[in-house]
Amino acid sequence: MNQAAMMKLKKMQKEMMDNQKRISETVFTGKAGGGMVQIEMTGDHEVKKVTIDKDAFESKDDIEMIEDSILAAFNDAIKQIEAEQEKSLGGFAGMPGLGGLF
């Protein structure tokens, strides 16, 4: 590999690592039930906070709905992270020598 190609590869590797770091540090907020349940999660999938609207509990029957909303909010946050990863890192996936990173 020539010097110019090696420099370009190193630059792209640094950009990829910078993007991964930025995504890992970003907090994504998944919402469900019209915002009744919110989950804050970092880009490396660490759940930071779960918020349930206090007005959501009118009866004991609401617990199952809240549980379903927590699940939906969690999945919403995961989808946001995956979309950001694809947007920021997707261009690197087809590069030779980087297989298996995604």
Dump pLDDT digits (tens) for 8-45: 888 888 988 898 899 999 999 999 888 888 999 999 88
Domain assignment present for 35: yes
**Residue 97 in domain:** no
Domain presence at residue 44: yes
43-80, pLDDT tens digit by residue?
988 899 998 888 877 776 777 788 888 889 889 999 99
Do 65 and 33 touch, CB atoms closer than 8 A? yes
Is 80 among the domain residues? Answer: yes
> How many domains does the chain fold into?
1
- For residues 83 and 31, what is the distance between their CA atoms, to the nearest angstrom? 16
On average, the pLDDT of the chain sits at 83
pTM listed for this prediction: 0.65
Query: Would you place residue 92 in the very low, low, confident or very high pLDDT band (cuts 50, 70, 90)?
Result: low
Structural domain contains residue 101: no
Q: What is the CATH classification number for the domain harbouring 14?
A: 3.30.1310.10
Q: Report if residue 38 sits inside a domain.
A: yes
Q: Distance from CA of residue 101 to its chain's centroid?
A: 16
Question: What pLDDT score does 102 carry?
Answer: 44
Domain, as residue range, for 11: 3-89
